Chains A and B, each alone.
Chain A
Amino acid sequence: DTGVSQNPRHKITKRGQNVTFRCDPISEHNRLYWYRQTLGQGPEFLTYFQNEAQLEKSRLLSDRFSAERPKGSFSTLEIQRTEQGDSAMYLCASSLQGYGYTFGSGTRLTVV
């Protein structure tokens, strides 16, 4: 197992376009988290899954954001009608029952 994998590493998109990011967690981990990090700040919680169930969503996750984890394996985070304020690093992490976290390298989104 090579850890948590995120794709793409970088994404540049025009305002108004839709984007989708993918996260492949460590296979034994049942929990998967999405965080967003803007420059100079710590990561902020967006949402998390236990297996395929999405158990919590932050108020930061507007209606333009949707996350899925079909079959409890990989997860996707989609942002519709992107805005410049969506520019950030999107981080994925996985854990086994919340014990210890392994982070991916993140997807850096730039909305122009």
Chain B
Amino acid sequence: KNEVEQSPQNLTAQEGEFITINCSYSVGISALHWLQQHPGGGIVSLFMLSSGKKKHGRLIATINIQEKHSSLHITASHPRDSAVYICAVSLTDKLIFGTGTRLQVFP
């Protein structure tokens, strides 16, 4: 069993839909990260969370430490949101990554 599990693996949506990506982890962590990866490989950090909820534009990330679960929400999705979204957890000195959720938003 992977230490970081994401669901779903693949997600398609129509423009404007509300999207949720889930992440569960099985280890003690210092923080959880949501990252975005576009074709070509570059990774952009979206959020770093250790508790509660953060919002940036149309993106919202939440974490429940007791349940070891986090969600990434995208409101009013747009085709430019199409990317792979990766959940990663910080252990003492490194990140452990989930396998990612491939999101495609169609106009």
Where the two chains meet, the residues of A that have a C-beta atom closer than 8 Å to any C-beta of B are 33, 35, 37, 40-45, 48, 55-56, 89, 91, 93, 98-106, 108
Contacts and interface: CB of A to CB of B under 8 A. Distances in A.
Contacts, number: 57
B33 A42 contact: no
Nearest to A55: B93
A9 to B, nearest CB: 9
Interface of B: 4, 30, 33, 35, 40-45, 48, 86, 88, 90, 92-100
Given A103-B43, A105-B40, A98 B100 contact: no
B30 to A, nearest CB: 8
A31 to B, nearest CB: 8
B45 A41 contact: no
Contacts of A99: 48
Nearest to B40: A105
A42 B86 contact: yes
